[in-house]
Amino acid sequence: MSWRIIKTVTILAGVALALTFIANILIEDQQITIQHKDIPQTLEASAMDKLTAEDLSMTTSMFIKQLSAQMNRWAEADLSEQQLKQRFEEELGEHSHFHGFAILENNEKVLEVGEMSQQDASLLSHHHMESEFSDPYEVDGEQYMLMGEQINDHKKMIGEINLSFVKEFVKDMASVADANGNFFVSGQDPKVQWETTKDMPEHLQAQTVPELGWQIVVHSKEQKPEKNQVHYEEQQAVIKFKHPETADAWFADHPELTLIDHTAPFYVVKSKVDSTETLIERLQRDYDLSFVEPNYVFTKQGLEMQTIPNDEFFEPYQWNLTQIEAGRGWNFSNGANVNIAILDTGVDPDHLDLKNKIKHGYNAFDDSSEFTDEHGHGTHVAGVAAALTNNVTGIAGVSWNSTILPVKVLDKDGAGTSYEVAKGIYWAVDHGAQVINMSLGDYYHADVLHEAIKYAYDHDVVLIAASGNDNVSDPMYPANYEEVLTVAAVDDTRNRAFFSNYGPHVDVTAPGAHIPSLFPDNNYVVMSGTSMASPHVAGLAGLIRALRPDLNVEDVYHVIRSTAKDLGTKGHDQYYGFGEVDVAKALESISE
């Protein structure tokens, strides 16, 4: 069975080049499979598509506002042409979305930086706030648009934006129409299904990007889960010896098996001839082995004086941190001297909001230190938990000054095995993690994973996991292990997010709908899912451990549960657990 990121229901890949991985994640979210039991049908496709369209629209808005604000700052600064030229060159070097810049005086070009394919100011026919925009246009198969800012009565600044990020983002699951209703991109295929918005079917979900008047239309295919399906690596088994010293002799007696990997006390073996089922059945009868199981596959799955950080997206977008009272909580703790391990798809080591917070990392696939995020999910999760904060740029993280330990246990497709997740846990514990976030899981217990979980718990490491995004009560693993604190998701009205899994194993909730955070290549995106809710709580655990390092793992769990804002039925319930986390109340309760 596949271990995966607890896929953000809409894992939005967006603000800039990010409109990329959402298709993979969203569609996989709609076909999450359960083994050995029947579950309700997947979430209604229209609800999922609506959430996706909203995230895509918000992400695009963030991107456009960020670029517009940058140009507006330059225009208001009344810089000389030489100073502007220097700023433009720096911007082109750092960001690929701007293709070039020009300064027009009385509609005549006086300065150009980059390679602009279009400089006609008359194309700037749309206005929003102080900015002007053109409709998208195509040059040599690439989509562009112009953005303009007035410097004075005679002088105007124009930037050309490469819109390839839109195509990469929507892939084949959405189409984008301009302000006139004309479709100009549909994922990887430039030939869209419809010419205008008048041609599209009524049942499709669409959202408007207010800054541009664009329509983002989601048309994902509904895919129902296959029942009773278990995902695992074919012809592989994870084994453990009753007596480790017998391993060499045992392998000598089993030449038909190939040793794939080994991290004491576990071995991953592969048969050259047996199917997975036959291999497991045969090895389970072996007297020398204490346990045998398939190598399951996982996949990816947000008054009193307040501290207000100066990050550009905090006040306009990060409702989630205000809702959990993070501002008041930061008066007590900023998360210093705490290591938070992010077990996920890796982390972008060069992101401006992360690179000074990463201590070292690990790749469970090849035992290297190469943890670069090729997917985006892990970078987003890491940002929610502990992005660099109060640095003017980007977003604020829950635990400002905590160090991030990136542990890559999921690949570029957001998938990995129970063995790799277990390896990642052991590495994190042995390299100083005090908190581990796991926005991943599946519906199958694995001994190799549970032993790693118990190892972390026995070493006083706080374990936080997402509940899942299928709107079912079936427990996911590792979320269902008693050593783990399980997090479900709520929206900005403190109602349970429609996609959030529930059940008696849910401990608390946190914001998980339309959560802004980081994406590779210095981008910022909006995503939704319990994957986003979980790192809010991991960040809170970091703040608690920084304020009171004397508290053990159960003490931390108690603080989080007992101070949560009760929602739903009074007391603990299966939808909200003990309620939504309250950062200020939690930290105030343990301050000395």
Q: Are residues 204 and 250 in the same domain?
A: no
194 confidence band (pLDDT: 50, 70, 90): low
520: CB partners within 8 A, 6+ apart:
17, 18, 348, 351, 373, 376, 379
Measured between its terminal Cα atoms, the distance across the chain in Å is 47
- Residue 303 confidence (pLDDT) above 70: no
Q: Are residues 270 and 357 in the same domain?
A: no
Residue 447, burial from CB neighbour count under 10 angstroms (0-12, 13-18, 19+): middle
- Residue 286 confidence (pLDDT) above 60: yes
Q: Are residues 250 and 199 in the same domain?
A: no
pLDDT digits over 135-172, tens only?
888 888 788 889 888 888 888 889 888 887 666 666 56
Q: Are residues 377 and 438 in the same domain?
A: yes
Domain membership flag for residue 97: yes
pTM: 0.76
Residue 579: helix, strand or coil by DSSP? Answer: coil
Cα–Cα distance between 445 and 253 in angstroms, integer? 30
**Could you give phi then psi for residue 300, rounded to 5 degrees?**
-70, 145
Q: Are residues 344 and 398 in the same domain?
A: yes
pLDDT value at residue 301: 58
User: Among positive and negative, which fits the CA dihedral 53, 57, 63, 66?
Assistant: negative
- Average pLDDT value for residue range 417-439: 97
Q: Which of 265, 295, 325 corresponds to the end of one domain?
A: 295
Is 344 a residue of the active site? Answer: yes
- Average pLDDT value for residue range 360-372: 96
Q: Are residues 319 and 285 in the same domain?
A: no
Domain membership flag for residue 6: no
344 confidence band (pLDDT: 50, 70, 90): very high
Given 55, 178, 311, 344, the catalytic residue: 344
Q: Are residues 583 and 495 in the same domain?
A: yes
Given 531, 534, 536, 582, the catalytic residue: 531
**Could you give phi then psi for residue 131, rounded to 5 degrees?**
-95, 155
Q: What is the DSSP string of 487-512?
A: EEEE-TTSPBPTT---STT--EEEE-
- Average pLDDT value for residue range 520-524: 87
Range in 62-76, 291-305, 364-378, 487-501 with the lowest mean pLDDT = 291-305
Is 126 a residue of the active site? Answer: no
Report which DSSP code applies to 215. E
- Average pLDDT value for residue range 561-589: 96
User: Among positive and negative, which fits the CA dihedral 398, 404, 409, 414?
Assistant: positive
Residue 206: helix, strand or coil by DSSP? Answer: strand
497 confidence band (pLDDT: 50, 70, 90): very high
Q: Which residue has the higher pLDDT, 378 or 163?
A: 378
pLDDT value at residue 254: 92
Q: Are residues 113 and 243 in the same domain?
A: no
Residue keyed to tokens 């080994």: 262
Domain membership flag for residue 162: yes
Q: Are residues 402 and 359 in the same domain?
A: yes
Which among 104-113, 220-229, 251-260 has the top mean pLDDT? 251-260
Residue 279, burial from CB neighbour count under 10 angstroms (0-12, 13-18, 19+): buried
Domain extent for 366? 314-590
Q: Could you give the percent of the chain with pLDDT greater than 90?
A: 46
- Residue 119 confidence (pLDDT) above 80: no
CA nearest to 495, candidates 385, 580, 384, 582? 580
pLDDT value at residue 164: 74
Q: Are residues 178 and 208 in the same domain?
A: yes
> What CATH number is associated with residue 475?
3.40.50.200
pLDDT value at residue 173: 66
Q: Are residues 267 and 178 in the same domain?
A: no
Given 375, 377, 514, 536, the catalytic residue: 377
Cα–Cα distance between 218 and 57 in angstroms, integer? 11
Is 531 a residue of the active site? Answer: yes
Side-chain-side CA neighbours of residue 365 (13 Å)? 17
pLDDT digits over 34-82, tens only?
222 333 344 456 777 788 778 878 887 887 787 788 788 888 877 788 8
Q: Which residue has the higher pLDDT, 204 or 251?
A: 251
CA distances for 6 relative to 43, 458, 469, angstroms:
15, 25, 7
7: CB partners within 8 A, 6+ apart:
25, 26, 28, 29, 32, 299, 300, 301, 377, 414, 469, 529, 531
- Calculate the average pLDDT of the chain: 83
Domain membership flag for residue 309: no
- Residue 499 confidence (pLDDT) above 50: yes
pLDDT value at residue 123: 85
17 confidence band (pLDDT: 50, 70, 90): very low
Q: Which two tokens stand for residue 93?
A: 């070097």
268 confidence band (pLDDT: 50, 70, 90): very high
pLDDT value at residue 250: 92
pLDDT value at residue 366: 94
pLDDT value at residue 37: 31
Q: Could you give the percent of the chain with pLDDT greater than 70?
A: 84
pLDDT value at residue 210: 77
Q: Are residues 205 and 240 in the same domain?
A: no
pLDDT value at residue 68: 82
Three-class SS string for 245-272? HHHHHHHHCCCCEEEEEEECCEEEEEEC
What is the count of structural domains for the chain? Answer: 3
Domain membership flag for residue 90: yes
409: CB partners within 8 A, 6+ apart:
298, 343, 344, 364, 416, 420, 421, 423, 424, 440
Cα–Cα distance between 53 and 49 in angstroms, integer? 6
Cα–Cα distance between 483 and 493 in angstroms, integer? 30
